[in-house]
A and B are shown apart, each in its own frame.
Chain A
Amino acid sequence: MRLRFAYATLVGLVVAGIVHIAAVLAIPVLSDADAASRARASESLEHPQTVYTVATGDDPSPPEAWLPIPDPAVAVGVCAYDLADGPMRVSARTGPLALSLAAHGRRGAFYAVTDQAAVRGALDLVILTRAQYDEALAEDDENEPSRDVRIVAPEGRGFVVVRVLAGLPSQRPAANAAVQAVSCTTDSPADEPPAKGAKR
């Protein structure tokens, strides 16, 4: 009898191990408080959704901030994307402040680039699927190579994080503005080729 109980306990411990592993693996998928789910609201916006606004003067950071321990000198914004609607284009103009873009999928960040990679003051990050990437390559004009930084995303949905660092308190309003100045647009496949034709 006691043997059977010990056996049941042993089985219980094995089940506990399986439940533990399953729960840890399921948390990122099921969570509705993670960054990917919270960023979903920004999918329809043309500019980043503010995640963290640095405090300026007497204004403290607004309570919409959901980063648990944010860097008080870094303004953060996110742009969610869904590649089913077309490739995502994130365009940033470099300014005096350090700016970085990081592309995150469900599993974590798969690409990051800072404004030091900018060509003539502009940083264009295009996130696409493998099929959209091949299409973009095929459409490339040999005489006028694209200046876009093209990244193939591992999955269809994700978000791009924009961070701007304000080195001095006086640069904080500029950092908040620089996050908002980044544009996140969907290159819709329908109207892209005519636009290109008109330009060239």
Chain B
Amino acid sequence: MRLAIPGPAARGAGGDETGPSAAARAAHLGGRTARFAARLGRKSSVAGLALYALGLGAVLGLASADWATSGGYPFGGVQIGAWTAWPRAGAANADPYTRAVNARRGEVPLAVGEGLLLTAAADDAGRTLDAACTYRIGGAMPSARAWTLTVAGRGARDPDRPIVREGFTSTEILREPDGRFAVLLSPEVQTGNWLPSPRASGPLRLAIRLYDTPAAASVGALDRAAVPSITPIGCAS
């Protein structure tokens, strides 16, 4: 810092360190923070600096804690193709961030012996799921006693749109003869397993919940072929 700006630094360090000229230079160089600092320095008040340090710590600490625990789980997910599995979301040894997120949302996560949650917010190519587009979600599912595939938008649901269907269960889905299936997530009516978009536009999130599954204990063994692929088919203009 001193090497980069030799003039005012040398003068400040040399003699009149609390002088008004030093304050002016600081303002010129560093804007408001520096002026604030210089004022603190001029008063050479240790209490002021301590107050500044504590204030900075409190504001930054609380803001970063709020940012890290609002919304989804910050970490603990296992990426499998387009999907992210959350095997430890409900476990007793979940990380503190996951527990804080659960506490703030009032979430009751699936326990390890109960099931496994997988979420997807982007398609196989990594593009965010858009409610205006049509997607084909198909392929295989990890072995489970039952599963549900649901779609949700961000925020509250559009009150004007009738709730036709929010998801499919493994029992009610129409399958190919080989047991595979394809769900069409689309704003327009489709043949077969049509999952209507919950809103006209905006990002979407898909969730798979596997119930009573051995996969919860060995998420690392799942690969891309074991979960459904999400392929975009086209977008309404």
Interface residues of chain A, those whose CB is within 8 Å of chain B, are: 1-2, 4-9, 11-20, 22-25, 27-28, 31, 33-35, 38, 51, 55, 60, 66-69, 71-74, 76, 78, 98, 100, 102, 104-105, 107-114, 116, 154, 161, 163, 165-169
Q: Which residues of A contact B170 (CB under 8 A)?
A: 167
Are the CB atoms of A16 and B113 closer together than 8 Å? no
Are the CB atoms of B53 and A9 closer together than 8 Å? yes
Are the CB atoms of B62 and A23 closer together than 8 Å? yes
In the assembled complex, the CB of B233 is this many whole angstroms from the nearest CB of chain A, namely 24
Q: Which residues of A contact B96 (CB under 8 A)?
A: 24-25, 28
CB of B209 closer than 8 Å to a CB of A: yes
In the assembled complex, the CB of A12 is this many whole angstroms from the nearest CB of chain B, namely 3
Question: Contacting A18 at CB < 8 Å: which of B9, B61, B94, B211?
Answer: B61
Are the CB atoms of A16 and B146 closer together than 8 Å? no
Are the CB atoms of B65 and A105 closer together than 8 Å? no
Asked whether A108 and B106 contact (CB < 8 A) given A16-B57, A69-B152, A98-B145, the answer is: no
Are the CB atoms of A28 and B41 closer together than 8 Å? no
A-B contact pairs, 15 of them (CB 8 A): A4-B41, A8-B52, A16-B58, A18-B57, A18-B61, A19-B61, A27-B69, A28-B102, A31-B103, A33-B103, A33-B106, A68-B106, A98-B145, A100-B211, A109-B91
Report the separation of the CA atoms of residues A25 and B99 in the bound assembly, to the nearest whole angstrom. 9
Are the CB atoms of B54 and A73 closer together than 8 Å? no
Interface residues of chain B, those whose CB is within 8 Å of chain A, are: 1, 9, 12, 17-18, 22, 26, 37-38, 40-42, 44, 49-50, 52-62, 64-66, 68-69, 90-94, 96-97, 99-100, 102-115, 145-146, 148, 150, 152, 163, 166-167, 169-172, 205, 207, 209, 211-212
Are the CB atoms of B108 and A104 closer together than 8 Å? yes
Q: Which residues of B contact A20 (CB under 8 A)?
A: 60-62, 64-65, 68
Chain A interface helix/strand/loop/mixed: mixed
In the assembled complex, the CB of A156 is this many whole angstroms from the nearest CB of chain B, namely 15
In the assembled complex, the CB of A101 is this many whole angstroms from the nearest CB of chain B, namely 8
Report the separation of the CA atoms of residues A111 and B92 in the bound assembly, to the nearest whole angstrom. 9
Are the CB atoms of B104 and A33 closer together than 8 Å? yes
Report the separation of the CA atoms of residues A24 and B97 in the bound assembly, to the nearest whole angstrom. 6
Are the CB atoms of A114 and B53 closer together than 8 Å? no
Report the separation of the CA atoms of residues A23 and B91 in the bound assembly, to the nearest whole angstrom. 21
Q: Which residues of B contact A31 (CB under 8 A)?
A: 103-104
Q: Which residues of A contact B109 (CB under 8 A)?
A: 108-109
Report the separation of the CA atoms of residues A178 and B111 in the bound assembly, to the nearest whole angstrom. 20
In the assembled complex, the CB of A90 is this many whole angstroms from the nearest CB of chain B, namely 14
Are the CB atoms of B114 and A168 closer together than 8 Å? no
Q: Which residues of B contact A4 (CB under 8 A)?
A: 41, 49
Asked whether A1 and B90 contact (CB < 8 A) given A20-B61, A111-B111, A168-B169, the answer is: no
Are the CB atoms of A38 and B52 closer together than 8 Å? no
Are the CB atoms of A15 and B92 closer together than 8 Å? no
Are the CB atoms of A167 and B171 closer together than 8 Å? yes
